[in-house]
Structure 1
């Protein structure tokens, strides 16, 4: 009996368990998935929690219910990976593996910036990338009466690169609905030289910021948070005051990657960009936010990666060459407020462009254009996530690799 171990039962790990269990003989392969947490979170929903658009119950469920029968589910802390010995040490046992899938995700690290996780953390300095942070911010916004809100991005890469912009757009809409918009100054602060990483998309999003009277501060490399005077300060000593700071801290891979000596400076695992095999260990594969591939750290990317990785693991078992197939495909809905959203579709080489999705020439979704349909698509994704994506069920008409059909290249 051979052993396949999956580390992490978040989006990527759960998908891989569902993809592989039906394809690997139960008499030949034992599959074990390990995660220390009982709760599985729908992380895209954290964006909506602060604005009372989603409830707590809509973004969390018991993780075990999504693990297929025939997969051993172990809820324990992962202490260390020993890749040269093909074993994983848990808190009170050791697992040996023939194949390992690392799906340990990423997390925020506010301690990386001086003063960020200081005395005002979750008082007037908030994140919304954690369940606790999003809830604390929701409670703050329910009673906040206005002032200067600064929405801030520390550095790339981050989970869902468009989320900070979406937060700014939704905040604008939220304060309009509350009749407070004229009492709120909104500023979006980024270390990038534009609103977003992709040039054409950055222009569209920058235009929306201007249209919504949201100030844009670019090239701001934060050095510290001044909790006494409520300011963020960059390395050039530029200061931006705030009454309420909503920040996206540095994102890093799981600490177990550092303890195992398998990651880069941010604890992301060096991974072949196209096959998703570890660059250092032939029997180790990596997926989702745990990788260092230059694709968005988003659920859609993990979904496309999972399909390629499943094929490559089967090829690896058969001793055949792997497919260098994954092209960095991502598609992301970008909430722009007032029940509208943009949709972008891109990969490693192709920037977001205008067009239709998913049916070429028909849609019904429009790329790089605001629409109510795109907003509905964003909201519908929550149902798709819980009922299809996690279970490894193919999403109709959406291919793993980016199609150029119906797009104005």
Structure 2
């Protein structure tokens, strides 16, 4: 028998387990998935937790519920990958051999990378919402907060879901208006980017929305430290931004397993071919989702699109066939803008977000780069799609792994 090992049972790893079990059932291949955690989190839901729009029970379920029959779940902590020996070493000393390895270990926040970010003020006046605990603690803070200077901050790129901090700022504006206390809150959006987003067309639309909602933007802010005692953040150029409540997206880093294994970059992301998803580490090692260093968004939709292409390439590798260079960096993201509206953006390596319709050309019903209530409903519907289709490896109708140009206006691109 041969062994295919998947590291990580998050969005990407669970999806791959489901897709590959269908393809490798009743063959000589055993599939095992390794993850120390017992809970699977719907991470897009963390955005809604602080505003009491979702309940905690709506964003978490047991991991084992989504592991298909025939796939062995090993709930142990990974020490490192022994690349030359083709083995995964667990912290209890167990060695798990593999013939093919898929790295799907994701990315986590690393607040310790910013001087002064951690301390007594962490989850008191300084919060993240990229973790379940952070989002839940921020919810408790917002329930009783009386107002002041709210700063929404990004430490550095790349981060999971690049639009999430913007969404937080927009939802905060709506939240405080609904509580009839928007006049008591100043919202400032602080980013290391030159504008609101990584793509020019989307930045133009999003900068306009920030201005319309009275949210101040501080661009090109490269944070050096957090001064918790005086409640301010400082950048390397000498700029300072004061806060009463700091909602930050700290440095995002790949798994420490990659550092211990000697295969990650400076942020522990795995060097990966951006078109095939085969790593540059060794031919029998592949990577997917947030764990890679490819220049695509670190978002659930990207992992979903990658999974279809990676499944095909793993099968081709097993059969000793040439890999397909099919992944085009496709990302599809809803951007909550508050007040029951959202934007939708669809882009890839070569095409930035533009206006148009999705998924049907000229029909929609979703509109690209335009606020609408229908887009907001699409965002909410995605939670059901995620739990019932996406991580179970079911194809989502009318949405292709590669970006379609149909229905999009590239005239000014």
Q: TM-score, normalised by structure 2?
A: 0.99
| Structure 2 residue 412 is the aligned partner of structure 1 residue 407 | no
**Structure 2 portions without partners, runs of 5+:** none
| Structure 2 residue 266 is the aligned partner of structure 1 residue 261 | no
| Structure 2 residue 197 is the aligned partner of structure 1 residue 189 | no
Give matches, 1:4-403, under 5 Å: 4-92=4-92, 93-403=94-404
**Contact 1:271 1:293 (8 Å CA) reproduced:** yes
**In the TM superposition, what whole-angstrom CA distance separates every residue of 1:186-227 from its partner, at most 9, and x where no partner exists?**
000001011110001001000000000000100100000001
* SS of equivalent residue, structure 2 residue 306: helix
Distance in 2, matches of 1:253 and 1:279, equals 16
Distance in 2, matches of 1:124 and 1:259, equals 33
**In the TM superposition, what whole-angstrom CA distance separates every residue of 1:3-27 from its partner, at most 9, and x where no partner exists?**
0000000000000000001111434
Distance in 2, matches of 1:25 and 1:75, equals 22
Distance in 1, matches of 2:38 and 2:132, equals 14
**In the TM superposition, what whole-angstrom CA distance separates every residue of 1:154-200 from its partner, at most 9, and x where no partner exists?**
11000000000000000000000001100000000001011110001
* SS of equivalent residue, structure 1 residue 61: strand
Distance in 2, matches of 1:228 and 1:41, equals 33
Cα RMSD after superposing both structures: 0.6
* SS of equivalent residue, structure 1 residue 53: coil
Q: TM-score, normalised by structure 1?
A: 0.99
**Contact 1:26 1:70 (8 Å CA) reproduced:** no
Runs of 4+ in 1 over 6 A off after TM superposition: none
- Greater CA deviation, 382-391 or 26-35? 26-35
**In the TM superposition, what whole-angstrom CA distance separates every residue of 1:45-88 from its partner, at most 9, and x where no partner exists?**
00000000000000000010100000001100001101111000
Distance in 2, matches of 1:77 and 1:56, equals 25
Distance in 2, matches of 1:337 and 1:314, equals 43
CA shift for structure 1 position 237: 1.4
Distance in 1, matches of 2:111 and 2:44, equals 20
Distance in 1, matches of 2:11 and 2:382, equals 14
